[in-house]
Structure 1
Amino acid sequence: MHETLLTAEPDSSAESLLPPDMLDFLACRTPDAWIAWALDNPELLLIDHAQCEKKAASTAMSLLYRYVDQPLLLSKMSQLAREELLHFEQVVKLMENRGIQYRHLSAARYAEGLRRHVRAKDPERLVDILIIGAFIEARSCERFARLIPHLDAELAKFYRSLVKSEGRHYEDYLMLARQQAPAAIDDRVAFFAEREAELIVTPDTAFRFHSGVPA
């Protein structure tokens, strides 16, 4: 895969793939240092991407099991789990075609860094989990868009397709958070936006799809 990743200058049109509300939702853009780090670690990029898709499906399934009395949540999470598993299969197939062996990687600090702030009791607990889901999906979309101008044609096309589906997941998570909340969630969204941005711009020692900048 080292041979197929490109190092072209960033395309300013990449962000045009993203809806303005998603860009406003995120408190910062992915730093250029992370993009360079990703291009230096093409195998890890795909391996951890595959893990992220699998974890996203697992999160959706856990919500399906825990909140059986929520019809709209059940419908949205069922669809999301299927799509995330399909994306997992697609990433694994890309890896196989490129001679990259799928293996376990230690988790990034990103998701845990957000979930440590989840409140203990429902409905606040569920609202926080759904808001975090929206941030994870939005950040994934933003990183796909930032990476696309640098990638070979096959991978760029695949990531373009993911921007649309992951963008829908972001919208669904945010809609469900608003539905479940007994009051407006603006303050809670702002709180998690700050925490998420801190994780994105601070140093990390290991590259991951959702890692911060290189230490």
Structure 2
Amino acid sequence: MYSELLAPIHAFLKCDTPDSWIAAAIKPENLATLLIDHCNCELKAAQTAMFLMRKYALDKDSGTLLLQWAKPYEDFVYGKDSNVADFLVNNSKKNDVAIEFVAKQGFEQGSVLISKMVRLIKEEFHHFEQVLAIMHARNIPYENRRAGRYAKGMMKLVRTHEPASMIDKLIIGAFIEARSCERFAKLAPHLDEVLNKFYVSLLRSEARHYQDYLVLAEAIATVDISERVAIIGAREAELITAIDHEFNFHSGAQGVEKD
């Protein structure tokens, strides 16, 4: 049913998710970890897009508006004694508010980046709320988690000079979104009805997010980025196929290394 949607994803990624990760992910004892980490991934995706907007595309006043948009989410995540039910009720409509962001001068692709990132942020915040609601219904408490080996390993590839740094961050964003989409599709058939339906519902937006990041990287670079995509893609595949002794949403193969 979704083969046409997923075909570009599989062509873009340099490997499939290892079967050992799928086997670990569908174990009942790993469900809480899977959902908690997924929830954190949705928030981090929104925060990453916000960082890109603030650093590269927004004027000062718009940067302040962006921080105000993020504040309820960050207050919940980093605050003490945060109440999930209250957050979900009080924040249910705030993410729908239209904000007029203004691009800073001197960045030709600023308005395009803002347009794509605002849509992505809205969707990622909404997904964060959806996962949180599923967790709440199953009595799984939320916890803030640090970035795992996968994210850290990808970010080590970012070059330190501009615009190369921005281009690398966009390409990495494309790979993370593509990997998420691939894993949602692989996981869905093995999950209960609620999670199956939810993960399938995420496929279209995640596929578009990967494309948006890649289109932005190509537009900002103004030159062929295929070599850089290949380098980052090869590293992404290494992180996904290498044995990972910790389980999370973007962890690598699960198992014990042989001597």
TM over 0.5: yes
Equivalent residues in 2 for 1:1-215, closer than 5 Å: 16=3, 18-40=5-27, 41-68=30-57, 69=107, 70-214=110-254, 215=256
Task: Check conservation: 1:18, 1:145, Cα contact below 8 A.
Answer: no
Task: Check conservation: 1:18, 1:141, Cα contact below 8 A.
Answer: no
Task: Check conservation: 2:6, 2:182, Cα contact below 8 A.
Answer: no
Task: Give how far 1:18 is off.
Answer: 3.7
Deviations 1:80-134 (A, max 9, x none): 1111010000000000111111112332111110110111111111110000000
Task: Give how far 1:17 is off.
Answer: 6.4
Deviations 1:113-165 (A, max 9, x none): 01101111111111100000000000000000000110111111110110111
Q: Which runs of 5+ in 1 are unaligned?
A: 1-12
Task: Check conservation: 2:39, 2:131, Cα contact below 8 A.
Answer: yes
How far apart are the structure 2 equivalents of 1:99 and 1:84? 22
Q: Which runs of 5+ in 2 are unaligned?
A: 58-106
How far apart are the structure 2 equivalents of 1:55 and 1:104? 11
How far apart are the structure 1 equivalents of 2:164 and 2:146? 29
Task: Give how far 1:207 is off.
Answer: 0.5
How far apart are the structure 2 equivalents of 1:182 and 1:121? 16
Q: 102-111 or 21-30, which moves further after superposition?
A: 102-111
Given the two structures, how large is their TM-score scaled by the length of structure 2? 0.76
Secondary structure at the aligned position of 1:19 is classed as helix
How far apart are the structure 1 equivalents of 2:182 and 2:157? 23
RMSD (Å), alpha carbons: 1.2
Task: Check conservation: 1:60, 1:81, Cα contact below 8 A.
Answer: yes
Match of 2:84 in 1: none
Given the two structures, how large is their TM-score scaled by the length of structure 1? 0.91
Secondary structure at the aligned position of 2:161 is classed as coil
